[in-house]
Amino acid sequence: MKRKIVIATMNDHKASEIRSLIGDRYDVMTQSSFSIPSVHETGKTFEENALIKAGEVSQKTGLLTLADDSGLEVDLLQGNPGVYSARYAGPNATDAENNKKLLAELEEFKDEKISARFQSVIVLIDPVDNSKNIFHGSWEGRITLKPRGKNGFGYDPLFYIEDLESTAGELNQAEKNKLSHRAIAMRKVTDYLKKKSLDTE
């Protein structure tokens, strides 16, 4: 029987991405399966927010819980939108509204190379042994002021990867799952889970 793992998120896109990265070793659920409402992200860092989300959902379910907090850091904006990436244009902002705000703020830098990165921090809490582990992933690129691609979500159409000469929004799921910040962090998670599973056999 597969062990259950709960993804602490209300974001269907993120849940789908994480589910595909975990593979079929676990019975993957989300907090909505337990009717747990959205957790307030009051942290000032990705790590703090991931800890808050994982802690609350793990406490309410008693199950192995994974929480990701991630976002876009733009150097010319002193690291913004950062932890506010999902709500940059307001508490209930859509991806389109967030992208529009980012483009407006970068208009004055249109002749410059706008370096940026996606950051992901994943927290894994296991109530069985009270362990709490933190994993990091980073994806370097730059911002293009002309959105390209309809894949992915969030700022993907604006995030340009030099080596590929394409935006994250032009990558398919399989391509993104090899390169992204979340994929890098999730590889560390799955390596840890495999090792832990072997240690307990």
Torsion of CA 193, 25, 21, 44, to 10 degrees: -50
Active site residue 199: no
- Comparing C-alpha atoms, which of 87, 148, 81 is closest to residue 116? 81
- Which of the residues 24, 27, 69, 163 is marked catalytic? 69
- Catalytic machinery residues: 69
